[in-house]
Amino acid sequence: MNAVAFPVRLREHTSVPCSRLWLLVEKGTLMRTITLGSTGIVTPQNAFGALPIQRVSEQDAVALLRRAFEGGMTFFDTARAYSNSEERVGLAFEGMRDKVAIATKTQARSPEAFWEDLETSLRLLRTDHVDLYQFHCVDQCYKPGDGTGMYECMLKAKEQGKIAHIGVTAHKLEVAFECVESGLYETLQYPLSYLASDRELELVALCERRNVGFIAMKGLAGGLLNNARACMAFMTQFPGVLPIWGVQREEELDEWLAFMTETPQLDEGMRAFIASERAELAGDFCRGCGYCMPCPQDIVINQCARMSLMIRRAPSKGWLGEEWQQRMNAIEDCTECYACTARCPYELDVPQLLQKNLADYRAVLAGSVDVKGAGEE
């Protein structure tokens, strides 16, 4: 699929007249296609992250996946760790395997677990191969001869035709740099949003120079960002970046699919909006990645440590209910063991951040601080 063919592919699944599609091509508002690094996988710069579909019914999940394909998405990312997500992807695309690119992941840390994961993934996905197989959330760069045998497993699986391309996902920035610089991985999946640091943008540039496909997860910063147009516009400035959007509701999917024919532009107004967001959210904030978990005191760190932002940037009612009051009160049990900080890829002082969020939360409950979440009057 190339830039000329894409309107024809899209025309099969849209009511937009051909004349309108070609006008959008000329205007530059039709979603671009990209080639994912050295893999040769060509896809619209707008892809489906299948983590959230484990939270809905099987029927709804399959319907969402097929609707995404019909709307123009061709790249679908799942993982063995996402409970039933792979099975639902397999159900959705059975009999049309050659029309989609499927990426999945393994959190295996031993060769035995690697092969068990791969065979399970192939069975659930109802396929004899995956287009991209990724080491999931690594804390080291697996290399041939490092004693783990993990990279050798990837090479053997590729030789057997069970995987087409080798990728890696990471949350730790320096591990991500090492993986890209190793020359061993065809893709890197890493968090990227318009809150990215300069160092993280250097990682994007390095991937482009090394022809490593950059798959952008957490484009909404774990739910902190609520302007989808701004998030999409930010991604379009990077020709080698493929954002995967986690979707579990039809209305969410429709918003992303609308960008196929009217891609948001990173114009002066959008840049100003992003700059204001960065100013508001600059500093130490929790991205919700969950690397810090589990907590020995059962504190839900990856939500509690960013509660001040969530009650202001999402509908606040649910976060202020009895369930979350109990979970926030659990912060009092923190022993400041700092195991969470040791695991945090962003090197946050997590116990301090928890206490700061608890104090603000209680002030909101007491009525001394007024908040209105997104969409609330």
CB 244 within 8 A of CB 216: yes
Q: What is the pTM of this model?
A: 0.87
Q: What Å distances lie between residue 345 and 174, 182, 191, 202, 220, CA to CA?
A: 9, 20, 11, 17, 18
Listed residues 259, 276, 293: the one ending a domain:
276
CA 202 to chain CA centroid, nearest Å: 19
- Report percent pLDDT > 90 for the chain: 82
Same-domain check for residues 259 and 309: no
Q: Is residue 189 part of a domain?
A: yes
Give the model confidence (pLDDT) of 184-215 as tens digits: 999 999 999 999 999 999 999 999 999 999 99
Report whether pLDDT(11) > 60: no
Query: In terms of DSSP bridges, do strands 33-35 and 42-44 run parallel, antiparallel, or are they unpaired?
Result: antiparallel
Domain boundary among the residues 276, 293, 328 is at 276
Residue with the bigger pLDDT between 4 and 248: it is 248
Reading the block at residue 24, the tokens are 């959008």
Same domain? 228 vs 338? no
What are residue 271's DSSP bridge partners? none
- Position 316 in a domain: yes
Q: What is the mean pLDDT of the chain?
A: 91
Residue 203 lies in a domain: yes
Over range 274-299, report the average pLDDT.
Answer: 89
Q: Are residues 88 and 146 in the same domain?
A: yes
DSSP β-ladder status, 241-246 and 47-49: parallel
Domain shared by 223 and 320, yes or no: no
- Taken as a whole, the chain contains a residue count of 377
pLDDT tens, residue by residue, 209-237: 999 999 999 999 988 899 999 999 999 99
284 domain-assigned: no
Domain boundary among 276, 291, 317: 276
CA distance 92 to 75: 13
Q: Is residue 26 in a domain?
A: no
Q: pLDDT of 22-55, one tens digit each?
A: 444 455 579 999 999 999 999 999 999 999 999 9
**pLDDT at 100 exceeding the cut of 60:** yes
Q: For residue 192, give its domain range.
A: 31-276
Q: Is 342 found in the same domain as 196?
A: no
- Cα separation, 228 vs 259, in Å, equals 10
DSSP assignment string, 190-212: EE--TT--HHHHHHHHHHHHHT-
Q: What total number of domains does the chain contain?
A: 2
Residue 16 lies inside a defined structural domain of this protein: no
182 and 270 belong to one structural domain: yes
On whether the CB atoms of residues 305 and 234 are closer than 8 A, the answer is no
The pLDDT-based confidence of 20 (bands split at 50, 70, 90) is: very low
| 356 domain residue, yes or no | yes
- For residue 226, the domain's CATH number is 3.20.20.100
**Whole-angstrom Cα Rg for the chain:** 21
In a domain, 159, yes or no: yes
Q: What is the pLDDT of residue 376?
A: 54
